[in-house]
């Protein structure tokens, strides 16, 4: 088998198993070892449609699934044969270095935390979500794993986010900012003020940033509680989608508009690509033992393949080891 192995939840996401299978094949052809976890007969049938298959894809049977209607924590505890659970167990048992699922986000957060477990010294794992900005990729952490946070969590998110930025997103010296409601020190909630104190002296720390600074990429690692982070990332994505939808609608409603649209297409395509969530693939649950990635439910094949590539890169770069060292150094 390959030097790096990624466990793929083949039953997770709106277009499972087709999309996870197609994405896994794409990544396997580049030499990444794949464990495809899910309903084995169904997976075999799906794989057959792809012709000659690389030898580095292994199927592991998991007859059960975690549904979006399930209570996440309870489902992880009571469905040992769910594809997501089995995939996480592969990482816990050292048979894969990373796990990726586009299934139920809450389920994947619970499965990763309960099965992979926290790295020593990590108080709470944080969901790191790569997003686009005009300065290049940025990371929002926490994107929703912990709705309510303490300053100590946010200080660790800064450390973990910087490792992700450097090792996987290729940011040379990632800057860190606290998301709040004014640039000056002293602006915001108690959580922000105390986090500011804790982050003094942290490499890359540039202080407070505001909502308007996110698309500018003023800080590459944006530290915030999971409530604010989740609202912000969904708003950011939704606003971009809305504007492009309106432009498309406007440009297809008249002949003049259609000509403008055709001529301007390279510009729109470039911009669209720069803010395409599939470009950056999945979110990362940082602070657990191994690499755990959670894709959008509607991820396409390209997004899934990109996610698996980044998972492999994370294993090769030893993201988990670097996070552990960073947490130990910051204690």
Residues in contact with a copy of itself by the rule CB under 8 A = 134, 144, 147-148, 179-181, 188-190, 210-216, 226-228, 230-243, 246-247, 250-251, 256-257, 259-264, 266-268, 270-271, 274-275
Q: Is residue 169 classed as helix, strand or coil in its secondary structure?
A: coil
**At its nearest, how many Å lie between a copy of itself and the CB of residue 301?**
23
**Given the complex with a copy of itself, which of 183 and 318 has the nearer CB atom?**
183
- DSSP label of 202: -
Q: Are 286 and 164 in contact (CB under 8 A)?
A: yes
For the record, the structure tokens of 198 come out as 């804790």
**At its nearest, how many Å lie between a copy of itself and the CB of residue 39?**
28
Q: Is residue 5 classed as helix, strand or coil in its secondary structure?
A: strand
Q: Per-residue b/e over 86-96, b at no fewer than 16 CB within 10 Å?
A: bbbbbbbeeeb
**Given the complex with a copy of itself, which of 235 and 325 has the nearer CB atom?**
235
**At its nearest, how many Å lie between a copy of itself and the CB of residue 138?**
12
Of 161, 162, 153, nearest to 191 (Cα)? 153
Of 84, 26, 82, 80, nearest to 57 (Cα)? 26
**Given the complex with a copy of itself, which of 43 and 178 has the nearer CB atom?**
178
First to last CA, the chain: 38
**Given the complex with a copy of itself, which of 66 and 214 has the nearer CB atom?**
214
Q: What share of the chain is helix, strand, coil (3-state, %, to 5)?
A: 50, 15, 35
**Given the complex with a copy of itself, which of 48 and 270 has the nearer CB atom?**
270
**At its nearest, how many Å lie between a copy of itself and the CB of residue 113?**
17
**At its nearest, how many Å lie between a copy of itself and the CB of residue 180?**
7
For residue 291, what are the CA distances in angstroms to 43, 90, 157, 231, 316?
24, 11, 15, 24, 11
**At its nearest, how many Å lie between a copy of itself and the CB of residue 257?**
6
**At its nearest, how many Å lie between a copy of itself and the CB of residue 230?**
4
For the record, the structure tokens of 147 come out as 């709705």
Q: Whole-angstrom Cα distance, residue 22 to residue 20?
A: 6
Q: Whole-angstrom Cα distance, residue 3 to residue 97?
A: 10
**Given the complex with a copy of itself, which of 136 and 264 has the nearer CB atom?**
264
**Given the complex with a copy of itself, which of 89 and 104 has the nearer CB atom?**
104
Of 87, 93, 42, 91, nearest to 66 (Cα)? 87
């Amino acid at each position: 088998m390959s030097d790096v192995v990624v466990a793929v939840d083949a039953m997770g996401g709106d277009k499972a198993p087709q999309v996870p299978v197609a994405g896994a094949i794409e990544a396997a052809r580049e030499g990444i070892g794949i464990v495809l976890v899910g309903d084995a007969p169904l997976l075999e049938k799906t794989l057959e449609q792809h012709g000659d298959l690389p030898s580095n894809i292994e199927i592991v049977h998991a007859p059960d699934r975690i549904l979006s209607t399930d209570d996440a924590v309870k489902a992880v505890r009571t469905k040992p044969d769910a594809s997501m659970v089995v995939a996480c167990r592969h990482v816990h048992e050292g048979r894969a270095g990373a796990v990726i699922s586009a299934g139920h986000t809450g389920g994947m957060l619970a499965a990763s935390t309960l099965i992979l477990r926290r790295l020593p010294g990590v108080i709470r794992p944080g969901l790191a979500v790569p997003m686009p900005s005009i300065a290049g990729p940025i990371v929002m952490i926490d994107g929703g794993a912990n709705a309510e946070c303490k300053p100590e969590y946010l200080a660790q998110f800064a450390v973990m986010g910087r490792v992700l930025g450097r090792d996987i997103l290729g940011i040379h010296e990632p800057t860190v900012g606290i998301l709040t409601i004014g640039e000056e020190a002293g602006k915001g909630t108690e959580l922000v003020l105390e986090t500011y104190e804790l982050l003094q002296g942290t490499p890359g720390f540039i202080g407070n940033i505001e909502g308007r600074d996110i698309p500018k990429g003023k800080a590459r690692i944006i530290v915030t509680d999971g409530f604010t982070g989740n609202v912000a990332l969904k708003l950011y994505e939704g606003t971009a989608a809305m504007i492009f939808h309106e432009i498309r609608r406007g440009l297809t409603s008249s002949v003049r508009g259609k000509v403008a649209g055709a001529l301007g297409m390279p510009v729109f395509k470039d911009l669209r690509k720069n803010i395409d969530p599939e470009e950056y693939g999945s979110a990362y649950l940082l602070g657990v033992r191994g690499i755990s990635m959670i894709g959008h439910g509607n991820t396409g094949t390209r997004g899934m393949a990109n996610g698996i590539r980044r998972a492999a890169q994370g294993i090769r770069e030893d993201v988990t080891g670097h996070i552990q060292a960073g947490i130990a150094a910051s204690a």
